[in-house]
């Protein structure tokens, strides 16, 4: 299996990490709390996380689900490290609309 940077939306937060399966990012055992997921790239030059794609296990995370979580500063790395909007930029990559800043 390939280890890639992935993310899920679980409850009211986004969890990012380099895992083989999206389910490895879950903080609880209840899959009903996960409303989608996808893949993530990090651009260290601009401190930007780019979220795109979908999870085969949980489906696509929609921009309308991602945006308020980023705005409320509820983005975390797998080890419960908060990724603050004051420190990082977040972009949603859409096939149709291109890169959309989330703040």
Separation in Å, CA 75 to CA 2, 8, 93: 23, 10, 17
- Examine the pLDDT at 2 and tell me if it is beyond 70: no
Number of structural domains (the chain) is: 1
Over the stretch 63-88, which tens digit does the pLDDT of each residue have? 999 999 999 999 999 878 999 999 99
Contact indicator for 29, 37 with CB cutoff of 8 Å = no
The pTM score is 0.91
Integer-rounded Cα radius of gyration of the chain:
12
Separation between Cα atoms, residue 30 and residue 28, nearest integer Å: 6
Q: For the residues 13-18, what does the mean pLDDT come to? A: 96
Residue 3's pLDDT band, with cuts at 50, 70 and 90, is: low
Residue 40 belongs to domain spanning: 4-101
- 67, containing H or E segment: helix 63-71
CATH number of the domain enclosing 65: 3.50.20
């Amino acid at each position: 299996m390939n280890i890639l940077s992935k993310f899920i939306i679980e409850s009211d937060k986004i969890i990012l990490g380099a895992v083989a399966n999206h389910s490895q990012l879950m903080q609880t055992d209840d899959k009903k709390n996960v409303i989608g997921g996808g893949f993530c790239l990090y651009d260290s030059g601009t401190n930007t996380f780019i979220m795109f794609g979908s999870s085969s296990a949980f489906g696509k995370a929609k921009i309308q689900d991602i945006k308020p979580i980023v705005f409320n500063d509820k983005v975390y790395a797998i080890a419960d490290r908060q990724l603050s909007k004051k420190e990082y930029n977040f972009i949603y990559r859409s096939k149709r609309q291109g890169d959309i800043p989330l703040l």
